[in-house]
Amino acid sequence: MATKPSDSRWLDCINVILLVLAGVIVMTPTAWMVLSSFKPSHEVTAYPPTLIFAPTVENYVTLSEQTPFLSYAVNSLIVTVGSTLFGLLFGAPAAFVASWTRITWPAVVALMARMAPGTLFLLPWYVMFRQVDMIGSYWALILTHAVITLPIVIWVLLPYFDNIPRSIFEAAQVDGCSPFRIFRRIALPLVASGLAVSAILAFVFSWNFFLFSLVLSNSQTKTLIAASFNFIGEGSTNWGGLMAAATIIALPPLLLAAIVQRWLISGLTLGAVKG
């Protein structure tokens, strides 16, 4: 039975209404968090909740005055940027070699690291880092977070390298280019967009990762995400501060994700889906 045009217009209309509804459900909790963070402290816990209020940055000011929020943020940046660079530096050449020679161990290992529960690694790391007195050091955090970033870089970059026509490499080889030169001068520039996507995804996942810094950081190196726990403890009395903290922590990944949204899904599904 062929559908009548008017029938189809009706369905389109319902389709849009349902999509808007889905968008509202997706957005409301986040909007509520941001809204609460700008409420005056006596109004955050008002019941029934208020929607109209005079916005204030009071919660953000209190947060920066009463907690070492800024130093947590600096710690987060050190660990996240450090582990992202580490992942790129080690992962990009490995992905290039894996793509060229069709060796599979980098992909397999990356997949294993993605599948295993974090605590499985955290137990031996805890013992190892305690032996060398590195618990609480930035290096322990950067190295462990590199276990998140390295697999992301390898998985995101592999298809990019695979897409370069092999004849380009072979021609360069005939001209006497060494593999190292081919990688640096030819392959890397060709996968520049892949590098950007993998860097951003690695950054986001390293930033978001909770478990490792929960155990391996100390009061000096605590990252924002590990400090969330303290904010919740105080949050029982100060919801405004808690929501302000949550908003700031969520901001960098959300902004970065918006930049790469087009390539995000293929990166997040280990290339199983072309987004």
Scanning residues 113 to 152, which ones bind other proteins (CB under 8 A)? 113-128, 143-144, 146-147, 150
Count the residues of the shown chain that bind other proteins, applying the rule CB under 8 A: 101
Binding region for other proteins (CB under 8 A) out of 77-85, 158-166, 188-196, 239-247 = 239-247
CA 178 to chain CA centroid, Å, is 35
Q: Which of residues 60-79 bind other proteins (CB under 8 A)?
A: none
Count, in order, helices (H) and strands (E) of the chain.
15, 0
Q: How far is the CB of 18 from other proteins (least distance, A)?
A: 5
Q: Which of residues 4-23 bind other proteins (CB under 8 A)?
A: 11-12, 15-16, 18-19, 22-23
For 241, half-sphere exposure in the C-beta direction (CA atoms, 13 angstrom radius) is: 21
Which residue in 52, 54, 105, 165 binds other proteins (CB under 8 A)? 105
How many other C-beta atoms can be found within 10 angstroms of the C-beta atom of residue 230?
14
Q: Is 33 in the site for other proteins (CB under 8 A)?
A: yes
How many other C-beta atoms can be found within 10 angstroms of the C-beta atom of residue 229?
11
Which residue in 183, 203, 212, 263 binds other proteins (CB under 8 A)? 183
d(CA 141, CA 144): 5
Q: Is 195 in the site for other proteins (CB under 8 A)?
A: no
Q: Is 246 in the site for other proteins (CB under 8 A)?
A: yes
Which residue in 10, 49, 168, 220 binds other proteins (CB under 8 A)? 49
d(CA 273, CA 200): 19
Counted residue by residue, the chain has a size of 275
Q: Is 171 in the site for other proteins (CB under 8 A)?
A: no
Q: How far is the CB of 264 from other proteins (least distance, A)?
A: 6
CA distances from 32 to 24, 39, 242, 244, 252 (A): 12, 11, 13, 11, 18
Percentages (nearest 5) of helix, strand, coil residues in the chain: 80, 0, 20
Which residue in 141, 156, 195, 242 binds other proteins (CB under 8 A)? 242
Cβ within 8 Å of residue 71, ≥6 positions away = none
Which residue in 141, 157, 243, 263 binds other proteins (CB under 8 A)? 243
Q: Is 211 in the site for other proteins (CB under 8 A)?
A: yes
